[in-house]
Structure 1
Amino acid sequence: MTDVLSDLLHRARASNALVRQLIQSPPWSISYTDATPLTLVAALGGPASIRPDDTRGAPVLLTDGDIALITGRYTIADSPRTPPQMVIGQGKKYVAATSSPVPGLAPRTYGDGLPGATTMVRGVYELRSGAGARLLDLLPPLAVVPAGPRVGAALNLLTAEAARDEPGQDAVLGRLLDLVLVMALRSWCAGPHATPPAWWRALTDPAIGGALTLLHTEPAHRWTVGELATRTGMSRATFAARFTAHVGEPPLTYLTAWRMTLAADLLHDTDRTVASVARKVGYLDAFAFSVAFKRAYGVSPSVWRRRAVAAAAG
């Protein structure tokens, strides 16, 4: 059985994560101009200051082993006073003043590699809109996770693998980046500055966390409050009250919202008919599904699909 965070990460990721390493000598500054859904930047050595470009937040200093989780455009530099020298966006890497390309040092590794250089590793996630939005609810525009021994070992392995070019490398890097991301999310959500959504906090309750796992593992099952209560070893009334108190909404309301999230991603990412999507998320009646979907998204599944496809096409 898959736990809730693992299930959410699996469903949210639309493609293999992009992993790159940068080794740059001070003074340096890089602007990432693509509004990527989720970026992980780890400082491996040397000074680094990071600033989200979409907010008015102050720059944050990263020390060795720190991890930044970013949900928009940003600039990273050796110092907040260093003007942008390099721009990376739309699949291109160039020096801001000359538009000359950034030199490659090894597979997936860029920069000058001179003594005293700052070393960073960067991973970018492309996320599905519905499940991805739930994952991003865990984070502010910039979350910095301090260095720790557990994630340090994983970062060292990720960095070593990023410079290799062997069969299956993308799969290895994707799994290592997932490992680092999950550790960073755990640390951030347990920290003093986090305000995670109610469902995350509910995972610490064994019974309610178990019920959430059931709903995520089998979203198409015809769940009732009574069956969920039995599966978690509680009376129906006690379970319903406890679930609502911990999660902030009743069990079947949560289930409906999760089903609509999955349905929206299926409509966007597949050619399934509306009736097929309805069955996939637990509705035998396509009309009832359409009513629930319109209540959640404001338009019918067919209209939502057309708009989503048009938006993705630019």
Structure 2
Amino acid sequence: MDVLSDLLHRARASHTAVRQLIQRPPWSLTFADPPLLSLVAALHGDAWVGVDDASPTRLAQGDIALVRGPAPHTISDAPTTRPLVVIRDGRKLSVDGSEAADRVRRSLAPRTYGDGRSGADAVLRGSYDLHGQVGERVLAALPPLAVVPAGPRTRAALDLLAAETAHDEPGQDAVLGRLLDLVLVLALRAWWAAPDARPPAWYRATADPAIGAALRALHEEPARRWTVAALAAEAGLSRAAFAARFAALVGEPPLTYLTAWRMTLAADLLRDTDATVGAVGRLVGYTDAFAFSVAFKRAHGVTPSHRRRPDPGPTGRPPAPSADDRRV
């Protein structure tokens, strides 16, 4: 599995959400507590997206915005439109009880809201509840707001996603999730291919056939006992040439990258599973629990058992140290 696919697969939570608004101006939606990644697309007409207190950015028809949470953001027909509806905890709350706010909240079809009249603006929004340290890796590669201009590939995918959004048939959630993934990947590719973009080093490195092959191998088998020589064989290069090229393109030596990736996976396994510290260590390539705990503490500043420990209670006193804490 390539690096981007692996990151998105591991970072994605149990569900995504897709909604569309078909509404004549004026309209405005403020998302007070959005998930960590939202995708907004102007399907018909223009839209404006403003993140937190920043000035709104215009989306022309077919443009896509990738919005990084958890800062609030607003989607509206114009930068001067006053707030009409606030979405908080999944509920649409009218700001002033006006007729315009009521129209924005009106259900037209599954996952579709607005008045649906001729000439209305049409906006689609999808959201991802990315989680864990893998999710942080994805988000770290994006600015608070990234606007991807309309293109033939993204437009075709958006049209298909919009057409499916209003259906409610067996398997619909699976279809919408996969189509939203398609639009997201196409948008990320387009954003990182822009002349002034600054894609993460690992993304640039995947374009190199040799280093891309090594990265794919590391992500497919992170627990394997990799050596630089074994990775060089995957890349089809000599050991010295591979090590130099990997460090130049990725920004760090291959085994340093591997250790950081293992510690990222371990942090999420400790949070999301009940596996013991030793079992988590084995899942990421450490046969010795003590060696794993040392590596984890070096990477994260705390021991594995402390990482999964519940927050202190009302007294503010943390639980007593575990055996794993005392060993490291």
TM-score (norm 1): 0.94
Work out the CA distance in 2 between the residues paired with 1:238 and 1:6: 27
Post-superposition Cα deviations, 1:16-60, rounded to whole Å, max 9, x if no partner, equal 21111111210111111114110001110022111111xx53211
Count of residues in Structure 1 that have an aligned counterpart in Structure 2: 307
Of 153, 157, 162, which residue of structure 2 is paired with 1:150? 153
The residue number in structure 1 matching 2:265 is 262
How far 1:307 sits from its partner (Å)?
4.7
Of 54, 59, 84, which residue of structure 1 is paired with 2:56? 59
The residue number in structure 1 matching 2:309 is 306
Q: Which runs of 5+ in 1 are unaligned?
A: none
The residue number in structure 1 matching 2:249 is 246
The residue number in structure 1 matching 2:326 is none
How far 1:230 sits from its partner (Å)?
1.3
Work out the CA distance in 2 between the residues paired with 1:136 and 1:309: 28
How far 1:308 sits from its partner (Å)?
7.5
The residue number in structure 2 matching 1:84 is 83
Post-superposition Cα deviations, 1:99-143, rounded to whole Å, max 9, x if no partner, equal 969111101111221222211111100112211111112210000
The residue number in structure 2 matching 1:119 is 122
**Which has more radius of gyration?**
2
- Indicate conservation of the 8 Å contact 2:39/2:64, yes or no: yes
TM-score (norm 2): 0.90
- Secondary structure of the 2:307 match is helix
Work out the CA distance in 2 between the residues paired with 1:18 and 1:32: 14
Cα 1:308–1:140 shift into 2, 3 Å: farther
| Percent of pairs with identical residues | 64
Work out the CA distance in 1 between the residues paired with 2:222 and 2:120: 49
- Displaced runs of 4 or more, over 6 A: none
Cα 1:309–1:102 shift into 2, 3 Å: farther
Work out the CA distance in 2 between the residues paired with 1:309 and 1:105: 46
In the alignment, is residue 295 of structure 1 matched against residue 298 of structure 2?
A: yes
Residue 63 of structure 1 aligns with an amino acid whose one-letter code is A
How far 1:157 sits from its partner (Å)?
0.8
- Indicate conservation of the 8 Å contact 1:137/1:196, yes or no: no
Work out the CA distance in 1 between the residues paired with 2:127 and 2:312: 22
Cα 1:76–1:133 shift into 2, 3 Å: same
- What's the Cα RMSD here? 1.6
Work out the CA distance in 2 between the residues paired with 1:103 and 1:291: 56
- Indicate conservation of the 8 Å contact 1:44/1:121, yes or no: yes
Q: Which runs of 5+ in 2 are unaligned?
A: 314-328
List aligned pairs for 1:280-291, cutoff 5 A: 280-291=283-294
How far 1:193 sits from its partner (Å)?
3.2
